[in-house]
Amino acid sequence: MSQNNLKASEVHPDFIFTEFDRLMHLDINDLLQGREHFEDTYCPACHRRDTPKAFTYQQLDYRRCQGCGLLYISPAPSEEQHLEFVRYSRAMAFWRQSQPEEMKAARKPMYEERAAFTLETFRTFNITAQSVLEVGAGNGEFAEELAARRPNMNIVLLEPQELDLQASGIEIITGGFDALERAERKFDAVIAWELIEHILEPDNLLRLVRGALKPGAPLLLSTPNERSVETRKLKTESSNILFDHVRLYNPVAIQELLARNGFRIISLSTPGQLDVQRIKAYRNVNPEAFADDPALNLILDSPKSCDDYQIFLQTHQLSSHMRVIAIADGEWNGSPTPRM
């Protein structure tokens, strides 16, 4: 996909995020009312115990694992508190219900690229995908795009909030992971776009995914890459550092997590397109943050250098968007995240 197909200012317009930010703070205040039930844990990815506090943001404490580098919120809400939040969050409801048509149109190339990538993955690995499960389907845009390209494919969505989709061939399971476990169904692929960063107990998610995959079937997932130039430069101003992104992975952390859960990675990439755009937008508002970085300023001042720099970030796994294809052909050694 051309770098020009996506524009950060259109995918995440400021006027939407101003209201989202206001509602988000109300949600956080509600969540913090139950802080006595939050749980402090060691690393959810590799289970190592060397996890010092990194910083506090929006009244939430973050730790960083000294082994795999995972950045995560801890103490964090319990599973019950988190599911309650997902279902009743004002900010999330606003995001789902208030996207103007021009914003939906601007985001459409993103879902088109994901659908094309998915079908290309099936062709590359000789997968005849008759049934696909998408876990955490958002508003269903990807599923609708995939259904338009493969009308005979059975696409099943697992989503805690109710969806109303008109495309044929799409089946919706409304509920949490327990609904998937009760269904006892097998699929030719499981897809999880931008989901795992929201999950408090990733081992439980991966256990359920393993149970839903046919032998040799792939898991396709994407998640923010915290070990990216954009996230490290913008710090808490990066959209990756968000109160509902409870676990922020990087290539090492996601590999350790998946290996421990019996998944073998066959592809890991960071194909993000918006890093340089976001860094430039941040510089426009906060030029003082770049005063001591003349080398980066040289790159950002040249359109050609910006294009080349974005490709460099993609090539060297330094973009803020990470994508993984994995096969569950090993032993599952998952367990709940160890508590402190």
Tens of pLDDT, residue by residue over 79-100, are 889 888 878 899 988 887 887 7
DSSP label at residue 108: H
- Quick one: pLDDT at residue 95? 82
- Quick one: pLDDT at residue 16? 83
C-alpha 48/C-alpha 50 separation (Å) is 6
C-alpha distances in Å from residue 104, one per residue of 6, 162, 276: 12, 19, 22
Q: CA dihedral in degrees (175, 167, 1, 133; nearest 10)?
A: 40
- Quick one: pLDDT at residue 65? 99
218-224 vs 189-193, strand pairing mode: parallel
Question: Which residue type does 279 have?
Answer: I
Based on the number of CB atoms within 10 Å of its own CB, is 192 exposed (0-12), middle (13-18) or buried (19 or more)?
Answer: buried
- Quick one: pLDDT at residue 6? 72
C-alpha distances in Å from residue 46, one per residue of 124, 132, 178, 324: 30, 29, 24, 17
Say which residue the tokens 């509902």 belong to: 244
- Quick one: pLDDT at residue 5? 63
247-248 vs 71-73, strand pairing mode: antiparallel
C-alpha 205/C-alpha 135 separation (Å) is 10
- Reading the chain (340 residues) residue by residue, the pLDDT tens digits are 344 467 776 676 777 888 989 999 999 999 999 999 999 999 999 999 999 999 999 999 999 999 999 999 999 999 889 888 878 899 988 887 887 788 888 889 999 999 999 999 999 999 999 999 999 988 899 999 999 999 999 999 998 777 878 778 899 988 888 888 888 899 999 999 999 999 999 999 999 999 999 999 999 999 999 999 999 999 999 999 998 999 999 999 999 999 999 999 999 999 999 999 999 999 999 999 999 999 999 999 999 999 999 999 999 999 999 999 999 999 999 999 999 9
E runs forming strands in 137-185: 154-159, 170-174
C-alpha 247/C-alpha 42 separation (Å) is 12
Ordered domains of the chain (ranges, CATH): 102-328 (3.40.50.150)
| Element housing 218 (H / E) | strand 218-224
- Chain mean pLDDT for the chain: 93
Based on the number of CB atoms within 10 Å of its own CB, is 166 exposed (0-12), middle (13-18) or buried (19 or more)?
Answer: exposed
- Quick one: pLDDT at residue 1? 39
Q: What is the pTM of this model?
A: 0.94
